Amino acid sequence: MAEIGREEAKKRIEELRKLIHYHNYLYYVLDAPEISDAEYDALVRELRRLEELYPEFITPDSPTQRVGGQPAEGFAEVRHPKPMLSLQDAFNDEEMWAWFRRISKLLPEGVKPEDLEFTVEPKIDGLTVVLTYENGVYVKGATRGDGFVGEDVTANLKTIKAVPLRIPVVPDGEPPKRIVVRGEAYMPISAFEEFNRRQAELGQRTFANPRNAAAGSIRQLDPSITAQRPLSIFTYAIVELEGGKPIRTQWEALEYLKSLGFPVNPENRLAKSFEEVLALSKELMKKRDALDYEVDGVVVKINDLAVQEALGVVGNAPRGAIAYKFPGREATTKLLDIIINVGRTGSLNPVAILEPVHVGGVIVKQAALHNEEDIHRKDIRIGDTVIVRRAGEVIPQVVGPVKELRTGQERIFYMPKNCPVCGEPVVKPENEVDYYCVNAACPAQLVRRIEYWASKGAMDIEGLGEKVAELLVKEGLVKDVADLYYLKPQQLLRLEGFAEKKVSNLLKAIEASKQRPFWRVLTGLGIRYVGEIVAQTLAKHYLSIDRLMAATEEELMQIEGIGPRIAKSVVDFFSRPRHREIIEKLRRAGVRLAEEEVVKVEEGPKPLAGLTFVITGTLSVPREEFAALIERYGGKVADAVTRKTNYLIVGEAPGATKYNRARELGIPMITEADVRRMIEEGVK
């Protein structure tokens, strides 16, 4: 290749640039790549080689020039062609209606409120950017700044692959002579989590949320740092247009931007009435958790740009648009203490005790902290002001500390060396992040096991909750779940707060639980990885506890929905003499240890029939169990994302391979909650 001639090189360079621009467009805008990453890289490499040979052909819009070389001395200023306005906020339907009534009175002659159309656009929580193109070439990129003057971040934005360097698609021949576009740069949530993880590993600064990460990445003096950050962009407004197609409505503007090859949010909607605006806003709010970018509300804009213009501006916000904000997912509060909760399996789980705070519409007093390693990695200390986050229905999480607010009084947290309940030394298995209390007689575990045995999903014993379980264990009346069936009224009557009525109710409820189906007994035993669904599968297959106890790992693994992890756990469980003893005690008590009839899991509706799912990340239940649930309702679960995949279920900390592949193939990403909804409401 070294001997390629000048003319030939020039031709090939142009060809390569066109190809690379085109594939960027397919990948970043249409989400429909036609070539593999390796093939793409090969094109870029070839171009770079040719440009090295003939540097005179390097142009500023060449895809090789995305990484700007020289760090600037601070940012130059850019005056925006028009003020970059902000938006007024509404927080509920009443405030939205109030806005509608207000603008209804101010409409120009001949425009009726009931004829108004609106766009409803996700409000991405990122950083506003303003991009200028002249003759189809990217020439300037700026931040919003104070609305009038922004910072010149041309080189930084150039490193974002979703920012076209050249308008790649020109529908009517010539590109607009000049177009200034407003958009939001953001860091996808999955990329943010991955990025933070890597930063922490390298001992470098992490960001509290994707918004800060995006803003911090763009406002870097050295664009080569921006280049390493996984950023993307959505555009949503044309600020200025010369020599392009005349645009009358916001919807046309969005369509035009799309046709010019700018990334435009696929969730944007056009509403034909104000009722529809509110309905679409609700719909988007429901979808919020399934999107891979932070959405903090919807932006509602009057579609007719002339009407918007006529309504004018109050302060720094146009009257013709409004932000309908979702409840915030994050709040800051004080971390008062970290306590240890001993789980059913003996795991020691740190729990954050917080100064009560409103997050996303509820008061949060406690939040999850994963494990000691994670607490240290995030440098969370007792006494810190922390960011608490509540997304969807999951347990609130402590995101990280606000280090700027430290007083010096904060304490570093260490896992106790001994179980806080029984005092026995704790153990940390190799390759695991959790600590365990392995004392089989630890009352905390026993309390949890009894609570679990009595819970709704298992034996459903009314009146036997945490408090009663604690009391029974404390008084030494119960040493395992089977002991419940040997309780005598006299023993209970001696307990504080137990009058005759309460005792007889509790004993009746315990007695009634003997008739629960066999799979509930299996669930209640609390075998690791055996939740309701797996228990049903096992009950259906083996029909009795004796046959199940005789099963080997190999046999178990033959069953659909039972993987090696579950199989091993089941065999381990029944191999312990103590567990066999409990089973015998249950048998003597008359608890049902076999199916009277086969559990009818095969029957019933199959709302997921014909759909193939792939799971990535951590779900609220073991993955095998969730897979079994999907299969029970007719769906299939595959290991890898292919064109045949219908949905990617994204859990916490999803893997990059599946995620990127799904993105490449345009496969919809959903949450665990969405699947449960599909099962309950059917697939729409």
Containing 314, the helix (H) or strand (E) segment is strand 313-314
Three-state secondary structure string covering 54-78: CHHHCCCCCHHHHCCCCCCCCCCEE
Of 317-325, 528-536, 575-583, 585-593: span binding ligand IVH (CB under 6 A): 317-325
Choose, from 123, 158, 258, 658, the residue flagged as catalytic: 123
Q: Is 624 in the site for ligand IVH (CB under 6 A)?
A: no
Of 93-101, 116-124, 426-434, 642-650: span binding ligand IVH (CB under 6 A): 116-124
Among 103, 124, 608, 649, binds ligand IVH (CB under 6 A): 124
Residue 184 vs 674, nearer CB to ligand IVH: 184
User: From CA 165, how far away is CA 148, in angstroms rounded?
Assistant: 24
Is-contact 200 378, C-beta < 8 A? yes
User: From CA 400, how far away is CA 414, in angstroms rounded?
Assistant: 17
The structure tokens listed for 9 are: 């090189």
Of 122-130, 346-354, 524-532, 653-661: span binding ligand IVH (CB under 6 A): 122-130
Residue 265 vs 523, nearer CB to ligand IVH: 265
Minimum CB–partner distance for residue 299 and ligand IVH (Å): 4
Of 65-73, 84-92, 96-104, 637-645: span binding ligand IVH (CB under 6 A): 84-92
x/- track of binding to ligand IVH for residues 177-216 (CB under 6 A) = -------x--------------------------------
Minimum CB–partner distance for residue 442 and ligand IVH (Å): 51
The structure tokens listed for 109 are: 């002659």
| Positive or negative torsion for Cα 265, 271, 274, 276 | negative
Helix 443-454 to helix 466-474 angle (10° resolution) is 140
Residue 47 vs 295, nearer CB to ligand IVH: 295
Write out the DSSP string of 1-59: -TT--HHHHHHHHHHHHHHHHHHHIIIIISS--SS-HHHHHHHHHHHHHHHHH-GGG--
Minimum CB–partner distance for residue 284 and ligand IVH (Å): 11
Residue 236 vs 436, nearer CB to ligand IVH: 236
Q: Are strands 612-616 and 636-638 parallel, antiparallel or unpaired?
A: parallel
User: From CA 158, how far away is CA 655, in angstroms rounded?
Assistant: 27
Backbone phi, psi, residue 56, to 5°: -65, -15
Is 123 catalytic? The answer is yes
Q: Is 220 in the site for ligand IVH (CB under 6 A)?
A: no
Q: Is 151 in the site for ligand IVH (CB under 6 A)?
A: no
User: From CA 635, how far away is CA 621, in angstroms rounded?
Assistant: 18
Among 123, 211, 381, 592, binds ligand IVH (CB under 6 A): 123
Residue with tokens 């945490």: 466
Residue 121 vs 480, nearer CB to ligand IVH: 121
| Size of interface with ligand IVH, in residues (CB under 6 A) | 14
Residue 162 vs 662, nearer CB to ligand IVH: 162
The structure tokens listed for 62 are: 């060449």
Is-contact 625 529, C-beta < 8 A? yes
Among 64, 128, 206, 371, binds ligand IVH (CB under 6 A): 128
Residue 62 vs 128, nearer CB to ligand IVH: 128
Among 59, 65, 86, 385, binds ligand IVH (CB under 6 A): 86
Q: Is 267 in the site for ligand IVH (CB under 6 A)?
A: no
User: From CA 239, how far away is CA 65, in angstroms rounded?
Assistant: 26
Minimum CB–partner distance for residue 121 and ligand IVH (Å): 4
Q: Is 121 in the site for ligand IVH (CB under 6 A)?
A: yes
Of 80-88, 151-159, 283-291, 339-347: span binding ligand IVH (CB under 6 A): 80-88
Among 25, 28, 195, 236, binds ligand IVH (CB under 6 A): 236
User: From CA 214, how far away is CA 222, in angstroms rounded?
Assistant: 15
Minimum CB–partner distance for residue 88 and ligand IVH (Å): 9
Minimum CB–partner distance for residue 165 and ligand IVH (Å): 22
Chain centroid, CA 125 distance in Å: 15
Q: Is 594 left (phi over 0), alpha (psi -120 to 50) or beta?
A: beta
User: From CA 629, how far away is CA 635, in angstroms rounded?
Assistant: 9
User: From CA 232, how far away is CA 189, in angstroms rounded?
Assistant: 11
Q: Is 294 in the site for ligand IVH (CB under 6 A)?
A: no
Distinct helix (H) and strand (E) counts, the chain? 24, 26
The structure tokens listed for 89 are: 């906020």
Is-contact 393 367, C-beta < 8 A? no
Nearest CA to 121 out of 292, 323, 421 is that of 323
Q: Would you tell me how many other CB atoms lie within 10 Å of the CB of residue 118?
A: 26
Q: Is 323 in the site for ligand IVH (CB under 6 A)?
A: yes
Among 47, 87, 189, 522, binds ligand IVH (CB under 6 A): 87
Write out the DSSP string of 562-579: --HHHHHHHHHHHHSHHH
Q: Is 321 in the site for ligand IVH (CB under 6 A)?
A: yes
Minimum CB–partner distance for residue 295 and ligand IVH (Å): 8
Residue 299 vs 586, nearer CB to ligand IVH: 299
Residue 294 vs 625, nearer CB to ligand IVH: 294
Minimum CB–partner distance for residue 2 and ligand IVH (Å): 48
Measured at the CA of 281, the angle between CA 278 and CA 286, to 5 degrees, comes to: 130
Q: Is 665 in the site for ligand IVH (CB under 6 A)?
A: no
Question: What residues does 321 pair with on adjacent strands?
Answer: 301
Residue 152 vs 184, nearer CB to ligand IVH: 184
Among 318, 346, 350, 622, binds ligand IVH (CB under 6 A): 318
Residue 21 vs 301, nearer CB to ligand IVH: 301
Residue with tokens 């005349």: 246
Residue 268 vs 333, nearer CB to ligand IVH: 268
Q: Is 51 in the site for ligand IVH (CB under 6 A)?
A: no
Minimum CB–partner distance for residue 85 and ligand IVH (Å): 4
Containing 251, the helix (H) or strand (E) segment is helix 250-259
Nearest CA to 223 out of 71, 65, 59 is that of 71
Among 29, 185, 231, 299, binds ligand IVH (CB under 6 A): 299
Minimum CB–partner distance for residue 650 and ligand IVH (Å): 22
Minimum CB–partner distance for residue 42 and ligand IVH (Å): 36
Containing 182, the helix (H) or strand (E) segment is strand 178-186
User: From CA 94, how far away is CA 615, in angstroms rounded?
Assistant: 40
Q: What is the dihedral of CA 621, 627, 630, 633, to 10 degrees?
A: -110
Among 43, 67, 72, 85, binds ligand IVH (CB under 6 A): 85
Of 68-76, 117-125, 545-553, 563-571: span binding ligand IVH (CB under 6 A): 117-125
Minimum CB–partner distance for residue 130 and ligand IVH (Å): 10
Q: Would you tell me how many other CB atoms lie within 10 Å of the CB of residue 103?
A: 20
The residues of the shown chain that bind ligand IVH, judged by CB under 6 A, are 85-87, 121, 123-124, 128, 184, 236-237, 299, 318, 321, 323
Catalytic residues: 123
